[in-house]
């Protein structure tokens, strides 16, 4: 707002729109500078927090990748063991078919007896 010039009893008086304010004039500039500094400090704090969160997320992502690799390795090991077990049973059945039928019949009979009770 521009200053207004008033004439009172032959003298001119310039009224300052900021004269009644506590933060007017140079004090207002200092207050604005202080507020700007506080805002910048707050922004730096938020940026630091966001940076830390990103670091934490990156670290957690790396751990998930390592855990996923371990799980994949374990699954592959279990698959290999299962295939070996199936191969062993298949060879047993091929080498002793009558014994395999007798064992299967006995296991079926036991399961049927247990489930009736």
Where are the extended beta strands (E) located within 9-100? 11-15
Q: What is the pLDDT of residues 7-32, one digit of tens each?
A: 555 555 454 445 444 445 577 888 88
Residue burial 48-74, b: 16+ Cβ < 10 Å; e: rest: eeeeeeeeeeeeeeeeeeeeeeeeeee
Q: How many CB atoms lie within 10 A of CB 16?
A: 12
Q: Cα–Cα–Cα angle for 16, 20, 23, nearest 5°?
A: 100
Q: What is the pLDDT of residues 54-113, one digit of tens each?
A: 999 999 999 999 999 999 999 999 999 999 999 998 998 899 999 988 999 999 999 999
Task: Tell me the two tokens of residue 73.
Answer: 């390795």
Question: Taking Cα atoms as reference points, which of 20, 23, 18, 22 lies closest to residue 3?
Answer: 18
């Amino acid at each position: 707002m521009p200053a207004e010039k008033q004439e009172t009893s032959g003298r001119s008086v310039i009224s300052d729109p900021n004269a009644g304010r506590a933060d007017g004039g140079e004090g207002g500039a200092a207050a604005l500078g202080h507020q700007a500094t506080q805002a910048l400090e707050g922004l730096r704090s938020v940026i630091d927090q966001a940076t830390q969160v990103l670091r934490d997320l990156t670290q957690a992502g790396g751990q998930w990748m390592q855990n996923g690799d371990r799980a994949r390795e374990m699954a592959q090991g279990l698959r290999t063991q299962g295939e070996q077990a199936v191969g062993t049973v298949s060879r047993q059945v091929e080498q002793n078919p009558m014994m395999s039928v007798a064992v299967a019949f006995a296991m079926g009979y036991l399961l049927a007896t247990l489930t009736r009770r």
